Amino acid sequence: MVKESEKLKFGTRAIHAGQDPWKWRSGAVVPPISLASTFAQTGPAELSECGFDYSRSGNPTRECFEECVAAVEGAKHAVAFASGLAATATLLHVLEKGEEVVCMDDVYGGTNRLMNRVFVPNGVTVNKVDCTQLDLLEAALNEKTRIVWIETPTNPTMKCVDIEACAKIIKAKLKRPDAIFVVDNTFMSPYNQKPLQFGADISMHSVSKYINGHSDVIMGLLMTNNDELAAKLKFLQNAIGAVPSPFDCFLANRGLKTLHLRMERHNSNALKVAQFLEKESMVEKVMHPGLKSYPGYDIVQKQCTGNSGMVTFWIKGNVETSKQFIASLKVFTLAESLGGYESLVELPCVMTHASVPPEQRAVLGISDQLIRLSVGLEDIDDLIDDLTNAFSAVA
């Protein structure tokens, strides 16, 4: 077992943190999938030294993954859920009557739907704010604000929010100690961005994306350095019960072992794709954190160590142009989701963000021409050729 894991670098943590082969007695270097739903007790309400009683409350394979992923994010605690949205929904259960959420205006369509159509009808107030405008964030905060929720970069328009600047405003204006500043870190992954270092209380992930990285798991995470908040999250994880299966924890733990290698390639492939798109005459605008032209470039230099595999661009033309372009691609697969080894393309207005009301989509620029790419790990020449051929087909 790697002790004092805080001294170790990212790749070593991803491979060794929480992975002590001797904790399984056999010395298995690959953690077993512990499928037992219940654990023998040494006496009534007396747990064995392992401390497990029932798999919703705690499971050895889940604990193994949670320890490892906390170490790579530089967090004290990680709490895993059955999906990214299960993590979000569970966290929103901390809200008490009359409390409010301030939410970044551009977020994943499912997060938007969860807040607007599940929590708002139940009496929660959600204020949508463009947190790239810090004065708007400050003006939106009030004594009822309990949660501030941002994504950076945002899905799908790739707006960049200054985490440290937001944290300072939130701490100064919200005097209540139980206010929670959450950053959905899915698009960057722990390899490229560590929000807790910049003052966030929680770093949230859809593990379904880069952390697992192989498009074969749906899972979510909440990570924090705050012991009291972690205890609350663990209570809610057990009380609400939206936990991931041991098999999914095994797969996510395995995917995590190569996160650092995969992110290097996602970062470099996506930057090359974005630079190619910038020069393409059929492209109106490109948003990617690695481009010098990116509006948040200076913030990225401060808070990120990489640019991610996500690229958003607006094609010249109309919805038919977008559809024809997408249909002409042969290496990029048309599908929702992101962060896997394979390159994906999607049209958010009718896919991932179809549930966002049309007026809100119009304000945010989620138009028929906005195309989102999740640039995978293929050979870059083949990706550029694929895009070149698709532009030729619609020209």
**What is the binding site for ligand P1T (CB under 6 A)?**
83-85, 108, 110-111, 151, 155, 184, 186-187, 206, 208, 218, 220, 336-338, 352
* Least distance between ligand P1T and beta carbon 156 (Å): 7
Quick check: is 108 catalytic? yes
- How, if at all, do strands 220-224 and 283-287 pair? unpaired
Our CB check for ligand P1T shows the closer of 206 and 343 to be 206
Q: Which C-beta is closer to ligand P1T: that of 125 or that of 337?
A: 337
Q: Find tokens 């392992």 and name the residue.
A: 50
Q: Find tokens 């794709």 and name the residue.
A: 273
| Rounded least distance, CB 218 to ligand P1T, Å | 5
Q: Are 224 and 201 in contact (CB under 8 A)?
A: yes
Clarify whether 184 is annotated catalytic: yes
Closer to ligand P1T by Cβ: residue 112 or 145: 112
Assess whether 209 carries a catalytic annotation: yes
Question: 203 φ, ψ to 5°?
Answer: -105, 120
The pairing of beta strand 333-334 with beta strand 344-346: parallel
**Which entry of 106, 184, 248, 368 is annotated as an active-site residue?**
184
Minimum distance between the CB of residue 148 and ligand P1T, rounded to whole angstroms?
16
Q: Residue 353 Cβ, how far from ligand P1T at the closest point, in Å?
A: 8
Q: How many CB atoms lie within 10 A of CB 94?
A: 16
Name the catalytic one among 13, 105, 106, 108. 108
Minimum distance of ligand P1T from residue 322's CB (angstroms)? 16
Residue that is written with structure tokens 């996500």 in the block = 310
Measured from the CB atom, is 15 or 351 closer to ligand P1T? 351
Residue 187 vs 198, nearer CB to ligand P1T? 187
Instruction: Give CA–CA dist 18/77, Å, rounded.
Output: 12
* Residue 174 in tokens: 């919200």
Structure tokens at 355: 């549930």
Minimal distance, residue 202 CB to ligand P1T, in Å? 13
Q: How far is the CB of 335 from ligand P1T (least distance, A)?
A: 8
The one catalytic residue in 128, 146, 209, 361 is 209
User: Shortest distance, CB of residue 336 to ligand P1T, whole angstroms?
Assistant: 4
What are the structure tokens assigned to 226, written together?
């705050």
- CB within 8 A of 124, min separation 6: which ones? 92, 95, 99, 100, 101, 115
Which of 236/338 has CB closer to ligand P1T?
338
Catalytic residue among 56, 113, 234, 257: 56
Locate 127 and state its tokens. Answer: 């204020």
CB closer to ligand P1T out of 75 and 174 = 75
Residue with smallest beta-carbon separation from ligand P1T: 84
Please identify, using beta-carbon distances, which residue of 17 and 217 lies nearer to ligand P1T. 217
| Phi/psi of residue 129, nearest 5 degrees | -135, 140
Positions marked active-site = 56, 108, 184, 209
